[in-house]
A and B are shown apart, each in its own frame.
Chain A
Amino acid sequence: MLNVRDLSVRYGDVLALEKLSFSVDAGQIIGLVGSNGAGKSTTLAAISGLVKGRTGHVDLAGQDLTSLAAHDIVAQGIVHVPEGRRLFPFMTVQENLELGAYGRAARVRREEQLDYVFTLLPKLAERRQQLAVTLSGGEQQMVAIGRGLMSCPKLLMLDEPTLGLAPMLVEEIFRLVRAIRDNGVPVLIVEQQVVHVLECADYAYVLESGHCVMQGNGRDLLQDDGLRRAYLGL
């Protein structure tokens, strides 16, 4: 449903991403892996309209998104949960979630989606009146993902959702990612936890200095010697 063709991003003189092409289909978890600076986060930011100077073509279910502004892309159904959670720190959990449903279409279904998020993430229900800034890292990540789900997205993009989390929480996040996919929302995930993401991804792309150097089924890639040496130190 998401089609990315020849996506390039240039920051001044630096080519951060060069002619990347990939797609995400319904019911899939797609992983983007690679070392720091490989262009993973840039890819997400380019799709969600946050970076200027992008070229190439992006469409969602046939709808051309290439020239839309960030808020219009959200309205089209692509939600980007940024690295580092980036919650609204001095708003409550509930206010953060409600803002997730800011778009005109999402507003109508706000209460319904709020119930859905609280069923999916029951811990948040207990903390709904707490300020975001007072939450633990794991809880903040839950809110960030929950906020993303509030707009009933057609595609969820997660940037480093497990960054800085304890191993137990990492497991929990990946369980959540699978649950979201199983509830019908495909997920495009950028991660440094290569093993986890490859185990869970239906398909994955390996980026290196702005290029895609390898792609394939997650479990197949895990067996690849080159990749194991480069990213897992094995």
Chain B
Amino acid sequence: MDIYLQLALSGLFIGGIYALISVGLTLVFGVLRVVNFAHGEYLTIAMFMTYFLFHTAGLDPFLASVIVVPLMFLLGLVTERLLIRPTLDAPHVVQVFVTFALSVFLQNVLLALFTSDFRSVRTAYATAAFQIGPLYVSWLRLAAFLAAIALAVGIALFLKYSYMGSAIRATAQDRRSARLVGINVDRVYAITFALGCALVGAAGVLLSPLFPVNPYTGADMILVAFVIVVLGGMGSIGGAVLAGLMIGVVESFSSYFLGGEMKQFVYFICFMLILAIRPVGFFGRKGAEVMDVT
């Protein structure tokens, strides 16, 4: 019994981080209808920023978030203005090409700047853990999980209750109508894209003390985020959180009972089964047209 609890706990913890990475991706897709293939590289960039703040200024990763997350937001604004906005009316294949090219470009820039060495943020509390009965709980993973869930809930509340949030939802549901009620849709796009980057930036900060980073770290992690976005329903934040946690738990159990090399296989099986039963994902709606924050 203990083992089940421990596995579930580990799965939920990592699932929370998956969810946070996916929330940004699904938000951008839901509003701009752009699949951002460079999302993983933004994760990598945030991890590098955290690493350098830690190593040069001695800044704790959790404190570094105060700098990294706004910088990522800014980077998102710039990217949107320079690369995404000019292609918004272009065919989908052009947008795919643009974000894909951006991903390759960023990887190579990072490679040129930092080589492919792995770099680690090593904090004193990196491996601190406490025990509840038979369960081992890593402080860091617990904190990362809580922060990830808090951010996901925060973003859902922001979308539901703020002016900008309702403008974002309105734009996702009908961009023409959004214009007609006086929403500056270009601004909504910019802010949404920047928010997506800030969220993945936050995920990067939280991951930094857990994983070493090199220019390909984000690319390696982003596959699972794409699975989660589709599984949760393209554009659905609640769906992304649920699917993220689910994938985390499925991975954890399958690597224990079937072996670690089977876990991707198992979650792809789940993925295909769920999509066969519910093609739009957990909370997706017909044609992936709608963003929902429930």
> Which residues on A are within 8 Å of B, measured CB to CB?
48-50, 69-71, 74-75, 79-82, 86-91, 95, 98-100, 102-103, 106-107, 147, 150-151
Contact of A50 among B170, B173, B180, B285 (CB under 8 A): B180
Contact of B181 among A49, A69, A90, A100 (CB under 8 A): A100
Q: What 18 new A-B contacts, CB under 8 Å, besides A82-B177, A86-B174, A147-B181?
A: A70-B180, A70-B185, A71-B184, A74-B182, A79-B181, A81-B180, A86-B177, A86-B180, A88-B173, A89-B174, A90-B173, A90-B285, A90-B290, A91-B166, A99-B166, A102-B163, A102-B167, A106-B182
Q: Kindly provide the distance from the CB of B167 to the nearest chain A CB, expressed in whole angstroms.
A: 6
Contact of B173 among A70, A91, A106 (CB under 8 A): A91
Instruction: Number of B interface residues at 8 Å Cβ cutoff, please give it.
Output: 19
Q: Are A107 and B163 in contact (CB under 8 A)?
A: yes
Query: Chain A contacts of B179 at CB under 8 A?
Result: 48-50, 70-71
Report if A71-B185 is in contact (Cβ < 8 Å); known contacts: A50-B179, A99-B166, A102-B163: yes
Q: Kindly provide the distance from the CB of B282 to the nearest chain A CB, expressed in whole angstroms.
A: 15
Query: Which residues in window 143-190 of B have CB below 8 A to A?
Result: 163, 166-167, 169-170, 173-174, 176-177, 179-185
Q: Which residue of B lies closest to A107 (CB)?
A: B163
Q: Are B177 and A87 in contact (CB under 8 A)?
A: yes
Q: Does B41 contact A (CB under 8 A)?
A: no
A91 to B174, CA, bound (A): 11
Q: Which residue of A lies closest to B182 (CB)?
A: A74
Q: Kindly provide the distance from the CB of A26 to the nearest chain B CB, expressed in whole angstroms.
A: 22
Q: Does B292 contact A (CB under 8 A)?
A: yes
Q: Which residue of B lies closest to A70 (CB)?
A: B179
Query: Chain A contacts of B185 at CB under 8 A?
Result: 70-71
Query: Which residues in window 184-224 of B have CB below 8 A to A?
Result: 184-185
A213 to B217, CA, bound (A): 66
Q: Which residue of B lies closest to A80 (CB)?
A: B180
Q: Are A88 and B177 in contact (CB under 8 A)?
A: yes
A71 to B180, CA, bound (A): 7
Q: Kindly provide the distance from the CB of B230 to the nearest chain A CB, expressed in whole angstroms.
A: 19
A80 to B180, CA, bound (A): 6
Q: Kindly provide the distance from the CB of B176 to the nearest chain A CB, expressed in whole angstroms.
A: 6
